């Protein structure tokens, strides 16, 4: 299974500046957030889900603001 980053780890990576490149991808009717670590793109996961999905792009934006992500790329 593909590795993923937990939300708490994501926050720490953003605060320290270790993660600076983010993208949002459409997955069916939902949206998935990924961050780049080295050459790999890793999805964000929650405690219960292997990959966290949001129902709207607005919801992803609110999450990113709360974590401290200032810029991201949207891929349709």
Q: Convert the pLDDT of each residue in 24-61 to its tens digit.
A: 999 999 999 999 998 999 999 988 889 999 999 999 99
- The domain limits of the chain are 5-75
Backbone angles phi, psi at 6, to 5 degrees: -75, 155
Give burial (CB, 10 Å; 0-12/13-18/19+) of 34. Answer: buried
Closest of 72, 75, 70, 76 to residue 15, by C-alpha: 70
Mean pLDDT of 11-32: 94
pTM: 0.88
For the chain, give the percent of residues with pLDDT over 70: 97
What kind of fold does domain 5-75 have according to CATH?
A: 3.30.720
Tokens of 49: 């889900």
pLDDT mean across residues, the chain: 92
């Amino acid at each position: 299974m593909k590795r993923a980053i937990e939300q708490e780890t994501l926050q720490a990576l953003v605060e320290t500046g270790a993660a600076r490149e983010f993208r949002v991808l459409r997955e069916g009717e939902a949206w998935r957030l990924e961050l780049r670590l080295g050459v790999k793109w890793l999805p964000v996961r929650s405690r219960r889900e292997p990959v966290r999905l949001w129902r709207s792009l607005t919801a992803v934006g609110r999450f990113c603001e709360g974590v401290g992500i200032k810029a991201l790329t949207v891929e349709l």
